[in-house]
Structure 1
Amino acid sequence: MKPSILIADDHPLVLKGLQDFLIEKDSNIAAVAKNGKEALSLIKALQPDIAILDIQMPFYTGLDIAKICKDENLPTKIALITFEKDQTIYNEAISLNVYGYILKEFALDEIENCIASMIEDKPYFSPELSDFIASNNDSKKIDVLTSTEKRILKGIAENKTAKEIGEELAISSRTVEKHKRNIRIRLEMDSKSTSIFLFAKNNYKFL
């Protein structure tokens, strides 16, 4: 069964373009919204599998909606679309468990891949954005990690659980957690789980 999708954007032409494109691809469009208030109301009422949201919208931004969905444990997976290449916004999106982050200029080229990735429970970020973020991070820090730690970091970036990473490396999930603690110490990170995930995502190409 195809996932139900909600689309929200306050720019009529962008909204229609995305809707027409996905209809042409035979996607299951559950609803469309022209602002954040409508989008949030529809998400709560319909609980679509996926919501594709413009970051900047009246009433509620895409990030506002992502935070509400996280706080209220709503099952809808959020993908954001934006023109902005902004490290701070990107980091906030990651901390809110956003599953997709697409630059509008590449939206029609990437939206299918994003949806397919989200269906498999894997985050999708525009390659152009990932390259930009990586270029603004100190990838040399990775050199202090062991080969096993690098493989664990790669698994973290791919949103894998400690159990899944452990099975790949033939070690226990408890050992994976010990390695994660060591990685945080080596990279001088705080204890928040998002810190190591952000670093892993931002430096994935170097792992």
Structure 2
Amino acid sequence: MLKIYLAEDQVMIAQALKTLLELEDDLKVIGTATDGKKALKDIIALKPDIALLDIEMPSLTGLEVATQLKLLAIPVKVIILTTFAREEYFAQAIKAEISGYLLKDSPSDDLIQAIRTVTNGQTVYESRLVKGMFDKSKCPLNKRELQILDVMKEFSNTKQIAQAVFLAEGTVRNYISAILSKTGTSSRLEAVLLAKENRWI
């Protein structure tokens, strides 16, 4: 059973999301908040597996909550769920190393799938945001992801990549999924070509 904390300042939306999530047999909402300060306090105390955070909330924004959780090393996967497709918000979310960033007009099935995906250590970013908001001259990848992407120029086999960077194959697969998600690409080759084009590697 995955424990979920939900922070959303619009009560009707919060109630609808809670109902939607609890229709799934493996998901349970263990707490809710309508402001960021309460959300941060509750998440630290309740230790959910997933925190679904709206961006614009009283006291603290969802991004401020995510940043504090990162600084405190709280082991929770954060998914930002927002109506705001703004480049500055998305950039802050990447910096806070959130696990997911989805728009509220996304299909409900996408949210459920995103929750299960981030639980497995992968990231899920709304493709419209990745493609439409990132200036592709700005690299969205961290140092480890760039290292793996660089090795992908030489090897296409996951086992070979894992051996080259001294990581487990499963860990490498998770990194590759993050690379594809963050760059908005659909294949390893496309990601490598994009990186070369923008001189990230």
The AA in structure 1 aligned to 2:149 is L
Q: How does 1:88-167 map to 2 (within 5 A)?
A: 88-106=88-106, 108-133=108-133, 136-138=135-137, 152-153=148-149, 167=159
Correspondence for 1:10: 9
Correspondence for 1:201: 182
Correspondence for 2:199: none
Correspondence for 1:33: 33
How many Å separate the matches in 2 of 1:33 and 1:121?
A: 25
Q: How much does 1:65 deviate?
A: 0.6
Taking structure 1 as the reference length, what is the TM-score of the superposition? 0.70
Aligned residues: 167
User: Alignment partner of 1:106: what SS?
Assistant: coil
Check the 8 A contact 1:91/1:198 in 2, yes or no: no
Correspondence for 2:65: 65
Q: How much does 1:95 deviate?
A: 1.2
Check the 8 A contact 1:166/1:172 in 2, yes or no: no
The AA in structure 1 aligned to 2:165 is S
Check the 8 A contact 2:22/2:29 in 1, yes or no: yes
Q: How much does 1:3 deviate?
A: 1.6
How many Å separate the matches in 2 of 1:115 and 1:101?
A: 11
Q: How much does 1:70 deviate?
A: 0.7
User: Alignment partner of 1:105: what SS?
Assistant: coil
User: 1:48/1:152 Cα in 2 relative to 1: closer, same or farther (>3 Å)?
Assistant: same
Correspondence for 1:173: 165
